[in-house]
Amino acid sequence: MATTPEPTAEPTPEATTGPTADPTPGPLTLKPGTAWADAWRRCQDVAPEAFLDDRVRNLWAAAWQTDGRALPATSPVDGSPIAGPPRLDAATAHQAVRASLDQHRAWRHVPLTERRARVAATLDALTEHRELLALLLVWEIGKPWRLAQADVDRAIDGVRWYVDHIEPMTEGRAPLDGPVSNIASWNYPMSVLVHAMLVQALAGNAVIAKTPTDGGLACLTLACALATREGVPVTLVSGSGGELSEALVRAPEIGCVSFVGGRDTGAAVATAVADLGKRHILEQEGLNTWGIWNYSNWDALAAVVPKLFDYGKQRCTAYPRFVVQRSLFDQFLAAYLPAVRNVRTGHPLAVADPADPLPSLDFGPLINAAKAKELSDQVAEAVDRGAVPLHRGTLADGHFLPGQDTSAYVPPVTLLGPPPSSPLHHAEPFGPVDTIVLVDTEAELLAAMNASNGALVATLSTDDRSTYDRLAPQIRAFKVGHDKPRSRGDREELFGGFGASWRGAFVGGELLIRAVTRGAGQERLPGNFPEYHLMP
């Protein structure tokens, strides 16, 4: 998409146009103009009202507030200090929610043409500062440059589609009675969280968001500063989930709760909203699986394997489990192992020469060193209990600065037969670990692909279309691909989940607008609710 570069005298990532370079061995250096200090200075230039010298402010009651207790934080990229969240207490969070309700009551009466104009102006501002937003994502959550840019672009392009198509979607519908509260994980601050917030506002609701505990604070703060300048009613607060949940989930002022995260936290939110009868959208994790059955197109599979490691599989639609027909296992390995050995990780901003473009990496660090250790411990435990290590990468081949902290990095690992006692057997690892399960019958294939009581996506690779047509409906995933991965989707594409992977209203296209607006009379929204399950 076309972008407007930001005026700056410093060398910046956006100065390196064209294709990114492959990782180059040898001594590396940080790309000039990409340091955290450079990004912070640019944030202060763009939005001085939100960025102080040593911290960010919370945004509530349509004003930037110097409140909350700012905690220290480090970048997963190299362990260096970055801005930490200014955590509010519960009482202040309740004040913020009440203030958002006041904004909501005014905003819901703003004509749609005016709402469209303000959201469109916000998108123009986000486009202008696209590269800065992406650079913040690199430092805060460790995304490689290519994927960080894609996260920003998907948010902008996705919301622009709604701006262009919103009128028929809202015909005969009204905003909710209170603001929408957003609690999302750290991995997609722009394309999931900011995207949802702007569409919710476009539909006539004030919006509240809690900054993810593990990362994305500065990026979200900058995005919200740009939206607030255009008059979009946004609230952005930081704090622990336990302390703020009473305000952000249970408060009577809240019209809808939108949650993206793990099953444990999601279950607690689901219990709360069910008790209160509150509108909700709860996207939770599931073990997304890729089945191999009577299949022979191994070149196609080998081509897709490295792409499945994008962002270290820290995605809700990642595929960490292959379920393979035993008689095809040798052929599967012949395609899979050379492909996984080509997966590359390292420092997303390291270059061999200052003039080089930023490196093309499959993934950088995990979200923090604690997660890296937890995952490494799970792998070691699974092997101790009987899993067979088929591939273990090494950081020695990584793309790193001399002497940098690599404690948040985990190289790709592949295990055969994770034991039932291991978390890797039944849960999403949220890291660059593949597990393989061998099966002999179609019944075993389906049982293994449905191991987690519901998933968001799945894929079945088989040469016989009739076999796919017969088995795919029995796979408990919202989207099932044939030989190709499925994704969350954009624009009009619907999204949801089966079983424990999703609770509440489905989203995407018209369904997202229906989820955050009210129609005439009693309506049954498509979704996965305690009392019913309704597909679109």
Tens of pLDDT along the chain (536 residues) come to: 434 333 333 334 444 434 444 544 558 999 999 999 999 999 999 999 999 998 999 999 999 999 999 999 999 999 999 999 999 999 999 999 999 999 999 999 999 999 999 999 999 999 999 999 999 999 999 999 999 999 999 999 999 999 999 999 999 999 999 999 999 999 999 999 999 999 999 999 999 999 999 999 999 999 999 999 999 999 999 998 888 989 999 999 999 999 998 777 766 777 777 777 889 999 988 899 999 999 999 999 999 999 999 999 999 999 999 999 999 999 999 999 999 999 999 999 999 999 999 999 999 999 999 999 999 999 999 999 999 999 999 999 899 999 999 999 999 999 999 999 999 998 899 999 999 999 999 999 999 999 988 999 999 999 999 999 999 999 999 999 999 999 988 888 899 998 888 999 999 999 999 999 999 888 899 999 888 889 98
392 vs 368: CA distance, rounded Å: 20
pLDDT for position 373? 98
Give the SS3 label for residue 525: coil
The DSSP string of 129-158 is THHHHHHHHHHHH---HHHHHHHHHHHHHH
Residue 266: the pLDDT is: 67
Neighbours of 385 (CB within 10 A): 14
Q: Rounded CA gap, 73 and 524, in Å?
A: 43
pLDDT at 237: 97
Looking at residue 272, its pLDDT comes to 76
β partners of residue 236: 59, 209
Residue type, 451: A
| Res 277: pLDDT | 81
Hey, CA dihedral for 122, 128, 130, 132, is it positive or negative? negative
DSSP state at residue 107: H
Q: What is the pLDDT of residue 4?
A: 38
Could you tell me which residues are beta bridge partners of residue 413?
392, 433
Of 133, 196, 207, 205, nearest in space to 162 by CA: 196
CA dist 522 → 203, 256, 465, 519, 525 (Å): 19, 17, 41, 8, 10
CA gap 208, 197 in Å, rounded = 8
Instruction: Give CA separation, 286 vs 263, 372, 474, 513, in Å.
Output: 8, 20, 16, 25
d(CA 291, CA 458): 8
Q: Which residues contact 327 (CB under 8 A, 6 or more apart)?
A: none
Listed in sequence order, the DSSP H helices in 277-356 are 298-304, 329-340
Residue 447, Ramachandran bin (φ over 0: left; ψ between -120 and 50: alpha; else beta): alpha
Give the number of other Cβ atoms within 10 Å of residue 534's Cβ: 12
What pLDDT was estimated at residue 26? 57
Task: Report pLDDT for 25.
Answer: 54
Which of 258, 288, 291 is closest to 273 using CA atoms? Answer: 258
Cα–Cα distance measured from residue 314 to residue 117, given in angstroms and rounded to the nearest whole number: 35
- This prediction's pTM: 0.93
pLDDT of residue 10: 37
Please report the beta strands in 110-213, taking only residues with DSSP state E, as ranges in sequence order.
174-175, 180-184, 207-210
CA dist 426 and 414 (Å) reads: 15
Amino acid at 165: H
Biggest CA-to-CA distance, the chain: 67
